[in-house]
Amino acid sequence: MSVKRREFLEAALAGVAGLVASRISGFAQTARAADAHVEVLINEAIGTINPNIYGHFVEHLGGVVYDGIWVGENSRIPNTGGIRTAIVDAMKRIKAPVIRYPGGCFADSYNWRDGIGDRAKRPRRTNFWVDEPDSKAPVNSPAKVEPNWFGTNEFMRFCQLTGAKPYMAANLRSLPAQDFYEWVEYCNAPAATTTLSQMRASGPVGSREPFNVEFWGVGNESWGCGGNFTPEEYAGEFRRFLAAVPGYGVPLKFLAAGPNAGDLNWTRGFFSKMREKGEWTFDRMYGWCLHHYAWNVAGGRTNDWRAGKGDAVKFDIEQYYELLRDADKMESLIEGHWTVMGEYDPRHRTKLVVDEWGSWHRAGTEIASTHMLGQQQTLRDALVASISLDTFHRHADKVVMANVAQLVNCLHSLFLTNEDKFALTPNYHVFEMFMPHMGAQAVRSIFSAPQAKYTRNGKPAEFWGLGGSASLNGKQLTLTVTNPNASEPRATEIAVRGARIESAQARVLTAPDVHAHNTFENPRAVEPSDGQVRIGAGGALVYRFAPASVTRLLVKLT
Ligand code: AHR
């Protein structure tokens, strides 16, 4: 709902006492009923929000590629050259900027040559995920035996259809550097100049024109599935792989496999080894890739990777807050790794990329047996998304890309599919609501609200009361706010320092139950609706944030 400037003036005249209070405290008399305050400081710029923070991730894992994106050209499911049309259309609506592919752990087992040329002749290979302990996927399904129907050309077609840029993850663990150079050549060499560029043009979805892939990850989780390296060993390998990559006039941006969540030793070991060779090495490195999942809902009882997880749908209130708490660690992770990076690369030529993030629950809610790591997504997961994206905005000077894991049928997905069925998850709606932040100038915001209280492992615990981020695009301010409190609304006054508010509109994602989620039978159980925002007597916005909600306020300034 929007409020016009005239209504604001009338309200202001009616509340002189409120204006006096406003001058003294910074907030208006109308705030008497408010129990929370937000201040947006539009003159305190943080940095431009790189649209690539809204990036995606597609791995050959379970139901992501097969059943998710690729349905095949002869399918009765609406498709464009074998690619599911519903996903393409939905990704266009959110202006998907970049997609990471083909893994994940899969990337370090993958030979890109298996996925090119005549589809009928492509080899069938054991998928990296074949031994995933919780999987009930049939032994001969594409989740376990990779048929390679979807490879580089098909992925590039997917990017072209959606308008997203490709971000390729190259195999460092099990292929020599030469294969990396040749994949770059296959993708980027000018038409008909080399054997590989000719191969690109021939075969299915062939392209005479080079793909001009800019983003190249070199290894994935090289501390674990990507080779069990020490950070020092990996730094040596990374430098070697980068030593002579053919350019073809494309401004290549290389990304290195960064830490597992809070592992500062990985960052320190890698950066110190790079620095030993020379500070210039950071000029070659666009991004340092942090991975952080929200998974541990055990309330401090265990840090075990399996025992610490909970069900995606059947969770109690402690597990609700614990998941948000785990997601909220992103802030300290960004700050911690950034500080260490700066000790070796003081000019911060290398930025942070969070190329895997999202929630990771216990297996059991996947909608098909082939969907390894597939899980339902509730309103709680939408709050994980809003908390994470807002954190990236608040660190727009540090984070240049982020890739939610993963696009469809896996972990923190935006889509659920099975054969001809298709649904948007609540996460999709957060991405859609937050779009005005893309490319805008992040500005500082201050939140003050009563803490949310809950019981953690039998003891009283708290989580912050309101949080979010703000950005400016010309005269339009976008403020996104999460109220994590599962039961209490927050009557809030929102002041904008450095400008006057002319009008405002609110859009909110919430549901009566934090367990609410979208299914094929009820695909609109969680979707956004318009909210009621007004301008108070002191010129500040007055808004009531619903319990367990994500809100976007679009504010027109003068
Ligand atoms: O996203 C699922 C997996 O999580 C990725 O393959 C891997 O990089 C991470 O451990």
162-163-165 Cα angle (round to 5): 110
How many A from CA of 104 to the centre of ligand 1?
Answer: 5
CB atoms within 10 A of CB 105: 19
Please indicate whether residue 322, judged by its CB atom, sits closer than 6 Å to ligand 1.
no
Between 509 and 32, where is the model more confident? 509
User: Cβ contacts of residue 96 below 8 Å, gap of 6+?
Assistant: 54, 55, 56, 162, 163, 164
Residue type, 150: F
Q: With H, G, I as helix, E, B as strand and everything else as coil, classify residue 10.
A: helix
Output the DSSP codes for 402-430.
EEES-SBSSSS-SEEEETTEEEE-HHHHH
Question: Ligand 1, from 106, 108, 225: best to mutate by most atoms within 8 Å of Cβ?
Answer: 225
For the chain, the average pLDDT equals 94
Please, are residues 515 and 347 in contact by the beta-carbon 8 Å criterion?
A: no
CB atoms within 10 A of CB 247: 9
Task: Provide the pLDDT confidence category of residue 269 given band limits of 50, 70 and 90.
Answer: very high
Please name the residue whose Cα sits nearest to atom 2 of ligand 1: 104
How many A from CA of 423 to the centre of ligand 1?
Answer: 23
Please, are residues 519 and 423 in contact by the beta-carbon 8 Å criterion?
A: yes
Q: What is the pLDDT of residues 301-315, one digit of tens each?
A: 999 999 999 999 999
Mean pLDDT, residues 228-236: 98
Q: What is the pLDDT of residues 159-190, one digit of tens each?
A: 999 999 999 999 999 999 999 999 999 999 99
CA of 224, closest atom in ligand 1: 10
Between 159 and 14, where is the model more confident? 159
Q: What is the pLDDT of residues 327-377, one digit of tens each?
A: 999 999 999 999 999 999 999 999 999 999 999 999 999 999 999 999 999
**8-state DSSP, 58:** -
pLDDT value at 410 more than 80:
yes
Q: Which helix (H) or strand (E) holds 494?
A: strand 490-497
pLDDT value at 18 more than 60:
no
The catalytically annotated residue of 39, 59, 356, 432 is 356
CB atoms within 10 A of CB 513: 13
The tokens describing 146, both together, are 């990779």
Residue 482 forms beta bridges with which residues?
467, 550
Please, are residues 415 and 89 in contact by the beta-carbon 8 Å criterion?
A: no
Output the DSSP codes for 514-544.
TT-B--SSSTTSS--EEE-EEE-TTS-EEEE
Mean pLDDT, residues 250-265: 98
pLDDT value at 22 more than 50:
no
User: How high is the pLDDT of residue 25?
Assistant: 40
Dist. CA 436–CA 54, nearest whole Å: 11
Does the CA dihedral 429-536-445-453 come out positive or negative?
Answer: negative
Name the phi and psi angles at 109, rounded to 5.
-115, 0
Whose CA is closest to 478, among 12, 6, 20, 49?
A: 49
Whole-angstrom CA distances from 509 to 49, 143, 201 are: 22, 33, 45
User: Cβ contacts of residue 222 below 8 Å, gap of 6+?
Assistant: 172, 173, 229, 234, 237, 257
Task: Provide the pLDDT confidence category of residue 33 given band limits of 50, 70 and 90.
Answer: confident
Mean pLDDT, residues 45-72: 98
User: How high is the pLDDT of residue 20?
Assistant: 27
Q: Among the residues of 417-468, which ranges form H helices? A: 426-433
The tokens describing 501, both together, are 């508010």
Q: Which helix (H) or strand (E) holds 504?
A: strand 501-509
pLDDT value at 11 more than 70:
no
Q: Is residue 233 annotated as part of the catalytic site, yes or no? A: no
How many A from CA of 273 to the centre of ligand 1?
Answer: 25
CA of 220, closest atom in ligand 1: 8
pTM (2 decimals)?
0.94
Whose CA is closest to 534, among 480, 484, 492?
A: 492
**8-state DSSP, 220:** S
Whose CA is closest to 218, among 156, 125, 286, 271?
A: 286
Dist. CA 271–CA 267, nearest whole Å: 6
Mean pLDDT, residues 18-33: 41
Q: What is the pLDDT of residues 37-48, one digit of tens each?
A: 999 999 999 999
Task: Provide the pLDDT confidence category of residue 32 given band limits of 50, 70 and 90.
Answer: low
119-120-121 Cα angle (round to 5): 90
Dist. CA 526–CA 378, nearest whole Å: 8
- Please return the burial class of 529, using the count of CB atoms within 10 Å of its CB with bins 0-12, 13-18 and 19+: exposed
pLDDT value at 80 more than 90:
yes
Please name the residue whose Cα sits nearest to atom 4 of ligand 1: 104
Q: What is the pLDDT of residues 384-406, one digit of tens each?
A: 999 999 999 999 999 999 999 99
Q: Is residue 221 annotated as part of the catalytic site, yes or no? A: yes
Q: What is the pLDDT of residues 443-465, one digit of tens each?
A: 999 999 999 999 999 999 999 99
User: How high is the pLDDT of residue 203?
Assistant: 83
Dist. CA 352–CA 345, nearest whole Å: 12
pLDDT value at 197 more than 60:
yes
pLDDT value at 26 more than 50:
no
Dist. CA 235–CA 226, nearest whole Å: 13
Please indicate whether residue 96, judged by its CB atom, sits closer than 6 Å to ligand 1.
no
pLDDT over 90 percentage in the chain: 93
Please indicate whether residue 374, judged by its CB atom, sits closer than 6 Å to ligand 1.
no
